[in-house]
Amino acid sequence: MTERAEPLVLINLFAMPPDLIDGFIQKWPGNIEKAKGAKGFRGTRLHRAIDPDAQYPVVNLARWDSAEDWRATVSEHFWLPGSPAPEGRFPVAHPALYTVAHDTPDPLAAAGNR
């Protein structure tokens, strides 16, 4: 595997009915606890759309050292997209791993204005 300066980024879009959003976010810390000790896991940030009609009202950005580390953790601790959800009526996940193709720094941070 080629050495990278940055970890891979997992972008996971979650589609769900509006009445599930608050509960999903509330359960997130417990759900992600399984990944915290996983090999290659580098942290996560969960985002909530400000538009109540967003197609994906919740988006997770996580960092992983490798695709292999992510796949191993998902297969062991989480359900895979397309497989039956553990709780019946549950959000639909759309995960994919990405590398940085271009980076535009925050001009205010570069100028020392933050």
Q: Is residue 24 a contact partner of residue 14, using CB atoms and an 8 Å limit?
A: yes
Percent of the chain whose predicted confidence (pLDDT) is above 90:
51
Q: Is residue 83 a contact partner of residue 91, using CB atoms and an 8 Å limit?
A: no
Q: Is 62 helix (H, G, I), strand (E, B) or coil?
A: strand
Q: Which residue has the tokens 């919740």?
A: 58
pLDDT, residue 1, reads 46
Q: Is residue 8 a contact partner of residue 97, using CB atoms and an 8 Å limit?
A: yes
- pTM above threshold 0.85: no
- Write down the mean pLDDT value for the chain: 85
Q: What is the largest CA-CA distance in the chain?
A: 50
pLDDT, residue 5, reads 67
Q: Is residue 55 a contact partner of residue 74, using CB atoms and an 8 Å limit?
A: no
**pLDDT tens across 45-93, in order?**
999 999 999 999 999 999 999 999 999 888 776 655 555 555 555 688 8
- State the average pLDDT over residues 96-105: 91
